[in-house]
Amino acid sequence: MENPEISIVIPAFNEEEGIRCGLERIIDYRYHELYEVIYIDDGSTDNTFGIICEYPVKCYRHNVNKGYGAALKTGIRKAKGNKVVILDSDGQHDPKYIDQLIMMLQDYDMVIGERTDDSFQVKRRQKGKRFIRILGELLVEQKLPDYNSGFRGFERKLISEMLHIMPNGFSFSTTSTLAFLKEGYTIGTFPIVVEERIGRQSNVKFLKDGSKTILLLMRIVMLFNPLKIFFPASILIFFAGLGWGILGYSIVGRFPNSATLVSVMGMLLFFIGLLADQIAMLNRTKHS
């Protein structure tokens, strides 16, 4: 298509066992005729790229594995549509939901397919995801949708303006959710049933990638609202120093030097937070 309204971007890495399932569904629904369908082979070492090339879809290839987020960035930059839909290539996401997602994109800046309770989930990750959700909702001060669902769509112009802050790793979905929320964009959701992935096991590791996600949440808040972290920390440190000073004065009759240093540190941390807030505003300046 010369000027497609919709681009479908699907990243893939070593998915030769399960990628045909998704490709066949795409062809069956004739999405390759209606929309621009882009697959990104993220440096696969198996025959993933060769299988994709058998089908009438666009395919771009990374020479090395750069990560889930990097593959999506490539796809979004290559996309020509005004709206972009992303989904996984491992058979978890049924393309039948694409039409509903596209329809909802007329009313929302981002639409997320929220996994139902009966969707397949790796049980050992559920507690970690619940903790991350609680932490994320505390930091952004609002209810989070399915923040790391890989089935979603958005206005290409809006997501393109944010690509410089998106990670190259698996946390692209989490980052985009928090970024859209913090920027005040509207997010719509609808239920989807997710199936068990086909082929190899997921690369996501609970301890390694879970800690990365927590750090990512902190990074996003630092990027969009640094005072959310700096202000409570500065108040806590200041009053800790003040309390230590009062205790020292009541015992030895003088304000300890260490208490003075801690109190001053709390005040300095507050002003550093104000500076970080101004830098964050400048860093988020949008470019056309």
Tens digit of pLDDT for each residue in 187-243?
A: 999 999 988 777 555 555 555 556 666 777 777 778 777 888 899 999 999 999 999
Q: Which of 224, 251, 274 is a domain's end point?
A: 224
Q: Which two tokens stand for residue 100?
A: 């509903």
264 and 153 housed in the same domain: no
Amino acid letter, 21: C
Total domain count for the chain?
2
271 and 253 housed in the same domain: yes
15 and 149 housed in the same domain: yes
Residues 199 and 90: beta-carbon distance below 8 Å:
yes
Instruction: Give residue 287's pLDDT.
Output: 46
Instruction: Give residue 288's pLDDT.
Output: 39
In a domain, 44, yes or no: yes
Residues 129 and 147: beta-carbon distance below 8 Å:
no
In a domain, 1, yes or no: no
82 and 138 housed in the same domain: yes
197 and 258 housed in the same domain: no
Partners of 39 in the β-ladder: 10, 59
Give the helix, strand, coil percentages of the chain, each rounded to 5: 50, 15, 35
148 and 174 housed in the same domain: yes
Give the N- to C-terminal CA distance of the chain in Å, as an integer: 25
pTM, entire model = 0.80
Residues 69 and 163: beta-carbon distance below 8 Å:
no
Low-confidence stretches of the chain (pLDDT beneath 70): 1-3, 120-129, 132, 139, 199-213, 283-288
Q: Which domain holds residue 204?
A: 6-224
Instruction: Find, among 84, 42, 87, the residue nearest to 194 by Cα.
Output: 87
CB atoms near residue 39 (< 10 Å)? 29
What does the DSSP assignment read for 34-60? Answer: HSEEEEEEES-SSSHHHHHTTSSSEEE
CA distance 33 to 273: 51
